[in-house]
Amino acid sequence: MPVVTRDWLNKLPKVELHLHLEGSLEPELMFSLARRNHIELPFATVEQIRRAYRFSNLQDFLDIYYQGANVLQEEQDFYDLTWAYLEKCRQQNVIHVEPFFDPQTHTERGISLATVINGISRALTDGESRLGITSKLIMCFLRHLSEASACDILAQSKPFRDRIIGVGLDSSEQGNPPEKFSRVFAKARELGLLTVAHAGEEGPAEYIWTAINDLKVSRIDHGVRAMDDPKLMAYLVATRMPLTVCPLSNIKLHVFDDMSQHNILDMLAQGVCVTVNSDDPAYFGGYMTDNFVALAQAFDMGKDQARQLVRNSIEASFADESRKRTMRALLV
């Protein structure tokens, strides 16, 4: 029996800093959007889709994830996707979220950036007014595409500057190091945007260094390979550079063989600002509570560790100080 129960973990107020909205597309919604938009899916049933969600690595997953996103066509589709995620947050007591979206996945298919951002941000606004869930939106560049393409999207996003807190970097990590995007990240910072980047998921610890030094990130997404480099570990502890770790994702994509091999609680004990997140919950088998439960089952995680993980997320978040204070006070 885990030291903490699922019920206690579900009630614990939580903050999510690493969530791809396209990765929260559940098979049921995929089907209903395909029907609404007259799109043919290569699957006949929800069960068939779920059975296809067996991945041997990141690229394997990304191929299916980009295919799934094809059903998103209209502004209302992006609204429904985001709203479904916020409903999950409400069920699992997630009180603040900083979701990612991948504009190029949609603009490359001829969907306008306005369609994408208007749908998402309308749902986020409703999430705050109706559910009390606060949010900050992060626009990710696809690292398998060129820096020129990222620059183009950044330029297109200028009319929506007030809806976006920062930019990130995702997709195929190996062979696409952070420094490939140094100039577009510099331009983003000049516009006042904050920066984050996926680094050290499948790629080496060196990519974490270049995300920090070249892209001047405020957080590292994943970052679990940091433990390969003692100097980097010392740096992360000294600076409290946050890592947005995604336990279930790491198992599904074989970053670790088994949850018992995961290093998040080891890093927590060493003083790294690690946080728990769900990444692509519709594909990886669970939302925020499920990620905490998976840790509780694999390790004898206690209430103090769970609370510290949430406290780290509050510290690492882009919420303003008064919201942070409110959230901290909820952690009894």
| Residue numbers annotated as active site | 201
Name which of residues 31 to 90 contact ligand HPA (CB under 6 A).
58
Looking at residue 183, its amino acid is: R
Residue 157 binds which entry of ligand HPA, Zn ion, none, with Cβ cut-offs from 5 to 8 Å by kind?
A: none
Q: Which residue(s) pair with 139 in the sheet?
A: 101, 167
Q: Identify the burial level of 179 via C-beta atoms within 10 angstroms of its C-beta, where 0-12 means exposed, 13-18 middle and 19 or more buried.
A: middle
Scanning the chain, the segments in alpha helix (DSSP H) are 6-11, 27-36, 46-52, 58-68, 75-91, 103-107, 113-126, 147-156, 182-190, 205-213, 230-239, 247-252, 264-269, 281-284, 288-298, 303-316, 321-330
Nearer residue to ligand HPA within complex by CB, 12 or 143: 143
d(CA 41, CA 301): 41
Nearer residue to ligand HPA within complex by CB, 136 or 143: 143
Name which of residues 120 to 139 contact Zn ion (CB under 5 A).
none
Name which of residues 184 to 203 contact ligand HPA (CB under 6 A).
198, 201
Query: Please, what is the end-to-end C-alpha distance for the chain in angstroms?
Result: 23
Looking at beta carbons, which residue is closest to ligand HPA? 170
23 binds ligand HPA (CB under 6 A): yes
What is the separation of C-alpha 230 from the centre of its chain, rounded to a whole number of angstroms?
26
Name which of residues 151 to 190 contact ligand HPA (CB under 6 A).
170-171
Nearer residue to ligand HPA within complex by CB, 171 or 291: 171
d(CA 243, CA 236): 9
Task: Give phi and psi for 30, each to the nearest 5.
Answer: -55, -45
Nearer residue to ligand HPA within complex by CB, 108 or 126: 108
Exactly one of 279, 282, 290, 292 binds ligand HPA (CB under 6 A); that residue is 279
249 binds ligand HPA (CB under 6 A): yes
280 binds ligand HPA (CB under 6 A): yes
Exactly one of 98, 102, 279, 290 binds Zn ion (CB under 5 A); that residue is 279
Which residue has 């420094």 as its token pair? 179
- Choices 57-65, 270-278, 279-287, 289-297 (CB under 5 A): range interacting with Zn ion: 279-287
Contact residues for ligand HPA, defined by CB under 6 A: 20, 23, 58, 170-171, 198, 201, 249, 279-280
Contact residues for Zn ion, defined by CB under 5 A: 279
